[in-house]
Amino acid sequence: MAPPAGRRRGIGPGPRRSRPVGGAFIADPRGVAVTRSLPRSSSGVPGSRARVSRGGDGGGAMEPRSRGTQRGVSHRPLDAEGTPESSLLGRLVAWDVALTSRLAVCAGVGSKWPSGRPLMKLIEVSGHGIPWLAGGLLCTYLGHSAVQRHWWINILFALLLDLAMVGTVKAVVRRPRPSHNCMDMFATVSVDQYSFPSGHATRAAMLAVLAFSGAGGGAGWIGGLGWWLVLAWALAVGLSRVMLGRHHVSDVACGLVQGWLQAWLVEVMWLSATTCQMLLQYVHWI
Protein backbone atom coordinates (compact mmCIF):
# COMPACT_ATOMS: atom_id res chain seq x y z
CA MET A 1 0.00 0.00 0.00
CA ALA A 2 1.50 3.32 -1.00
CA PRO A 3 1.82 6.00 1.59
CA PRO A 4 -0.41 8.99 1.34
CA ALA A 5 0.73 11.75 -0.91
CA GLY A 6 1.22 14.12 2.00
CA ARG A 7 3.59 11.68 3.73
CA ARG A 8 5.77 10.61 0.84
CA ARG A 9 9.45 10.58 1.55
CA GLY A 10 10.98 13.98 0.99
CA ILE A 11 7.62 15.58 0.25
CA GLY A 12 6.08 16.10 3.68
CA PRO A 13 6.57 19.28 5.68
CA GLY A 14 8.79 17.44 8.18
CA PRO A 15 9.19 18.46 11.78
CA ARG A 16 8.02 21.90 12.61
CA ARG A 17 10.88 24.23 13.42
CA SER A 18 10.83 26.86 16.05
CA ARG A 19 10.32 30.34 14.84
CA PRO A 20 11.81 33.46 16.32
CA VAL A 21 9.47 35.48 18.46
CA GLY A 22 10.69 38.94 19.41
CA GLY A 23 14.33 38.00 18.86
CA ALA A 24 14.05 34.73 20.93
CA PHE A 25 13.46 31.11 19.87
CA ILE A 26 10.71 28.83 21.17
CA ALA A 27 11.55 25.23 21.81
CA ASP A 28 10.31 22.77 19.20
CA PRO A 29 7.48 20.36 20.04
CA ARG A 30 9.86 17.49 20.77
CA GLY A 31 10.83 19.12 24.06
CA VAL A 32 14.44 19.80 23.17
CA ALA A 33 15.73 22.87 24.96
CA VAL A 34 17.16 25.41 22.61
CA THR A 35 19.72 27.90 23.83
CA ARG A 36 20.82 30.54 21.41
CA SER A 37 23.04 33.58 21.82
CA LEU A 38 21.13 36.73 21.16
CA PRO A 39 22.69 39.84 19.78
CA ARG A 40 20.93 41.88 22.46
CA SER A 41 18.76 40.92 25.39
CA SER A 42 15.49 42.52 26.34
CA SER A 43 17.38 44.74 28.75
CA GLY A 44 19.47 46.07 25.90
CA VAL A 45 22.78 44.75 27.25
CA PRO A 46 25.09 43.19 24.66
CA GLY A 47 26.43 39.74 25.36
CA SER A 48 23.39 38.47 27.29
CA ARG A 49 22.15 34.94 26.70
CA ALA A 50 18.59 33.69 26.44
CA ARG A 51 17.62 30.48 28.22
CA VAL A 52 14.64 28.34 27.16
CA SER A 53 13.00 26.04 29.68
CA ARG A 54 12.55 22.40 28.70
CA GLY A 55 9.01 21.38 27.93
CA GLY A 56 6.97 19.66 25.30
CA ASP A 57 4.14 22.11 25.15
CA GLY A 58 6.08 24.55 23.05
CA GLY A 59 5.38 27.33 25.54
CA GLY A 60 8.80 27.47 27.13
CA ALA A 61 9.76 31.14 27.02
CA MET A 62 13.32 32.26 27.19
CA GLU A 63 14.62 34.15 30.23
CA PRO A 64 17.32 36.77 29.85
CA ARG A 65 20.44 35.92 31.80
CA SER A 66 23.14 38.55 32.15
CA ARG A 67 26.65 37.53 32.93
CA GLY A 68 28.57 39.21 35.74
CA THR A 69 31.03 40.71 33.34
CA GLN A 70 29.38 41.37 30.04
CA ARG A 71 31.25 41.58 26.83
CA GLY A 72 31.10 44.87 25.04
CA VAL A 73 29.99 46.99 28.03
CA SER A 74 31.93 50.25 28.15
CA HIS A 75 33.77 51.02 31.37
CA ARG A 76 35.24 54.33 30.22
CA PRO A 77 35.32 57.23 32.69
CA LEU A 78 32.94 60.09 32.42
CA ASP A 79 33.32 62.31 29.44
CA ALA A 80 35.49 65.35 29.93
CA GLU A 81 32.48 67.63 29.67
CA GLY A 82 31.09 66.20 32.88
CA THR A 83 34.19 66.57 34.97
CA PRO A 84 34.63 69.53 37.33
CA GLU A 85 37.79 70.56 35.48
CA SER A 86 35.85 71.24 32.31
CA SER A 87 32.89 72.94 33.94
CA LEU A 88 32.53 76.70 33.82
CA LEU A 89 33.72 77.12 37.40
CA GLY A 90 36.63 74.77 36.78
CA ARG A 91 37.70 76.70 33.71
CA LEU A 92 37.52 79.99 35.61
CA VAL A 93 39.63 78.60 38.44
CA ALA A 94 42.20 77.25 35.97
CA TRP A 95 42.35 80.63 34.23
CA ASP A 96 42.71 82.36 37.60
CA VAL A 97 45.61 80.11 38.66
CA ALA A 98 47.39 80.51 35.31
CA LEU A 99 47.06 84.31 35.33
CA THR A 100 48.21 84.46 38.96
CA SER A 101 51.30 82.44 38.11
CA ARG A 102 52.17 84.82 35.27
CA LEU A 103 51.75 87.96 37.37
CA ALA A 104 53.69 86.67 40.39
CA VAL A 105 56.92 88.25 39.14
CA CYS A 106 58.18 89.08 42.66
CA ALA A 107 57.26 85.82 44.35
CA GLY A 108 60.83 84.70 45.05
CA VAL A 109 64.39 84.30 43.89
CA GLY A 110 63.44 82.33 40.79
CA SER A 111 60.75 84.79 39.70
CA LYS A 112 61.05 87.21 36.78
CA TRP A 113 61.55 90.36 38.88
CA PRO A 114 63.04 89.39 42.26
CA SER A 115 64.63 92.82 42.74
CA GLY A 116 61.17 94.39 42.99
CA ARG A 117 60.21 92.26 45.98
CA PRO A 118 61.39 94.78 48.65
CA LEU A 119 59.24 97.52 47.09
CA MET A 120 56.22 95.21 46.94
CA LYS A 121 56.73 94.22 50.57
CA LEU A 122 56.84 97.89 51.56
CA ILE A 123 53.49 98.42 49.85
CA GLU A 124 52.26 95.27 51.59
CA VAL A 125 53.09 96.69 55.02
CA SER A 126 51.34 99.96 54.13
CA GLY A 127 48.08 98.04 53.78
CA HIS A 128 48.50 95.87 56.87
CA GLY A 129 45.94 96.13 59.63
CA ILE A 130 48.34 96.69 62.54
CA PRO A 131 49.94 99.90 61.18
CA TRP A 132 46.51 101.27 60.37
CA LEU A 133 45.13 100.49 63.81
CA ALA A 134 48.17 102.06 65.48
CA GLY A 135 48.01 105.08 63.18
CA GLY A 136 44.29 105.48 63.78
CA LEU A 137 44.76 105.53 67.53
CA LEU A 138 47.58 108.04 67.22
CA CYS A 139 45.59 110.34 64.92
CA THR A 140 42.60 110.15 67.23
CA TYR A 141 44.75 111.16 70.17
CA LEU A 142 46.58 113.94 68.31
CA GLY A 143 43.60 115.21 66.31
CA HIS A 144 43.53 119.00 66.05
CA SER A 145 39.75 119.24 65.80
CA ALA A 146 36.66 117.37 66.88
CA VAL A 147 35.85 116.66 63.23
CA GLN A 148 39.14 114.84 62.68
CA ARG A 149 38.81 112.86 65.90
CA HIS A 150 35.26 111.96 64.94
CA TRP A 151 36.43 110.71 61.53
CA TRP A 152 39.32 108.67 62.91
CA ILE A 153 37.16 106.97 65.53
CA ASN A 154 34.88 105.76 62.75
CA ILE A 155 37.93 104.64 60.77
CA LEU A 156 39.02 102.57 63.76
CA PHE A 157 35.56 101.06 63.90
CA ALA A 158 35.78 100.31 60.16
CA LEU A 159 39.18 98.64 60.56
CA LEU A 160 37.87 96.38 63.32
CA LEU A 161 34.84 95.51 61.19
CA ASP A 162 37.15 94.70 58.28
CA LEU A 163 39.28 92.34 60.38
CA ALA A 164 36.18 90.53 61.64
CA MET A 165 34.53 90.12 58.24
CA VAL A 166 37.68 89.09 56.36
CA GLY A 167 38.63 86.61 59.07
CA THR A 168 35.16 85.07 58.98
CA VAL A 169 35.15 84.65 55.20
CA LYS A 170 38.65 83.15 55.22
CA ALA A 171 37.69 80.67 57.92
CA VAL A 172 34.61 79.59 55.96
CA VAL A 173 36.11 79.39 52.45
CA ARG A 174 39.57 78.07 53.46
CA ARG A 175 41.14 78.55 50.05
CA PRO A 176 44.88 77.83 50.18
CA ARG A 177 47.34 80.45 49.10
CA PRO A 178 49.17 80.08 45.76
CA SER A 179 51.82 77.38 45.71
CA HIS A 180 54.59 79.87 44.91
CA ASN A 181 53.87 82.03 47.98
CA CYS A 182 56.63 82.43 50.58
CA MET A 183 55.18 82.50 54.09
CA ASP A 184 57.29 85.47 55.23
CA MET A 185 54.38 87.80 55.82
CA PHE A 186 54.39 90.42 58.53
CA ALA A 187 52.44 89.77 61.77
CA THR A 188 50.06 87.01 60.70
CA VAL A 189 47.56 84.88 62.62
CA SER A 190 46.30 81.37 61.96
CA VAL A 191 43.52 82.44 59.60
CA ASP A 192 46.05 84.24 57.39
CA GLN A 193 47.17 80.92 55.95
CA TYR A 194 44.08 81.12 53.75
CA SER A 195 43.85 83.20 50.61
CA PHE A 196 40.27 84.27 49.93
CA PRO A 197 39.66 87.18 50.10
CA SER A 198 42.67 89.46 50.26
CA GLY A 199 42.46 91.40 53.51
CA HIS A 200 44.87 94.03 52.22
CA ALA A 201 42.63 94.59 49.19
CA THR A 202 39.45 94.88 51.27
CA ARG A 203 41.10 97.31 53.66
CA ALA A 204 42.59 99.49 50.93
CA ALA A 205 39.34 99.63 48.96
CA MET A 206 37.30 100.42 52.06
CA LEU A 207 39.59 103.27 53.12
CA ALA A 208 39.70 104.69 49.59
CA VAL A 209 35.91 104.70 49.29
CA LEU A 210 35.54 106.35 52.70
CA ALA A 211 38.06 109.00 51.67
CA PHE A 212 36.21 109.68 48.41
CA SER A 213 32.75 109.71 49.96
CA GLY A 214 33.60 112.36 52.52
CA ALA A 215 31.82 110.40 55.23
CA GLY A 216 31.53 112.42 58.41
CA GLY A 217 33.05 115.50 56.78
CA GLY A 218 36.52 114.18 57.45
CA ALA A 219 37.54 113.98 53.81
CA GLY A 220 37.69 117.75 53.50
CA TRP A 221 41.38 117.60 54.28
CA ILE A 222 41.94 114.67 51.85
CA GLY A 223 40.96 116.51 48.71
CA GLY A 224 42.47 117.38 45.38
CA LEU A 225 45.62 115.41 44.63
CA GLY A 226 45.21 113.44 47.85
CA TRP A 227 42.19 111.57 46.45
CA TRP A 228 44.17 110.36 43.44
CA LEU A 229 47.06 109.33 45.66
CA VAL A 230 44.71 107.29 47.84
CA LEU A 231 43.21 105.62 44.77
CA ALA A 232 46.67 104.83 43.35
CA TRP A 233 47.74 103.44 46.71
CA ALA A 234 44.69 101.16 46.94
CA LEU A 235 45.29 99.76 43.46
CA ALA A 236 49.00 99.31 44.19
CA VAL A 237 48.19 97.36 47.35
CA GLY A 238 45.92 95.02 45.42
CA LEU A 239 48.47 94.54 42.64
CA SER A 240 51.29 93.88 45.11
CA ARG A 241 49.37 90.95 46.58
CA VAL A 242 49.44 89.17 43.22
CA MET A 243 53.00 90.18 42.31
CA LEU A 244 54.29 88.83 45.62
CA GLY A 245 52.43 85.57 45.05
CA ARG A 246 50.35 86.07 48.20
CA HIS A 247 46.94 85.87 46.54
CA HIS A 248 45.20 84.77 43.39
CA VAL A 249 43.79 87.40 41.07
CA SER A 250 40.24 86.47 42.10
CA ASP A 251 41.15 86.95 45.78
CA VAL A 252 42.14 90.54 45.11
CA ALA A 253 39.21 91.27 42.80
CA CYS A 254 36.67 89.95 45.29
CA GLY A 255 38.52 91.71 48.09
CA LEU A 256 38.13 95.06 46.34
CA VAL A 257 34.40 94.44 45.93
CA GLN A 258 34.05 93.39 49.56
CA GLY A 259 35.94 96.50 50.66
CA TRP A 260 33.50 98.69 48.74
CA LEU A 261 30.57 96.92 50.42
CA GLN A 262 32.19 97.33 53.83
CA ALA A 263 32.62 101.06 53.21
CA TRP A 264 28.92 101.31 52.39
CA LEU A 265 28.09 99.45 55.62
CA VAL A 266 30.34 101.75 57.66
CA GLU A 267 28.60 104.80 56.19
CA VAL A 268 25.24 103.34 57.18
CA MET A 269 26.51 102.64 60.71
CA TRP A 270 28.50 105.87 60.97
CA LEU A 271 28.91 106.85 64.61
CA SER A 272 27.61 110.28 65.54
CA ALA A 273 29.79 112.98 67.05
CA THR A 274 28.01 112.58 70.39
CA THR A 275 28.74 108.85 70.47
CA CYS A 276 32.38 109.43 69.60
CA GLN A 277 32.69 112.05 72.34
CA MET A 278 31.25 109.60 74.87
CA LEU A 279 33.77 106.97 73.76
CA LEU A 280 36.63 109.43 74.17
CA GLN A 281 35.47 110.37 77.66
CA TYR A 282 35.22 106.70 78.58
CA VAL A 283 38.76 106.03 77.32
CA HIS A 284 40.13 109.02 79.23
CA TRP A 285 38.38 107.83 82.38
CA ILE A 286 40.00 104.39 82.02
**Catalytic positions:** 200, 247
Pairing of strands 24-25, 20-21: antiparallel
Nearest-CA neighbor of 97 among 245, 254, 255, 258? 245
Q: How far is CA 43 from CA 40, 48, 76, in A?
A: 8, 9, 20
Would you give the distance in Å from CA 224 to the centre of its chain? Answer: 41
- Of the chain, the end-to-end C-alpha distance in Å amounts to 139
Q: What count of other Cβ atoms lies within 10 Å of the Cβ of residue 263? A: 23
User: Cα(98)–Cα(23) distance, rounded to whole angstroms?
Assistant: 56
User: Cα(203)–Cα(200) distance, rounded to whole angstroms?
Assistant: 5
User: Cα(201)–Cα(165) distance, rounded to whole angstroms?
Assistant: 13
Pairing of strands 49-52, 62-65: antiparallel
Rg (alpha carbons) of the chain, rounded to whole number: 39
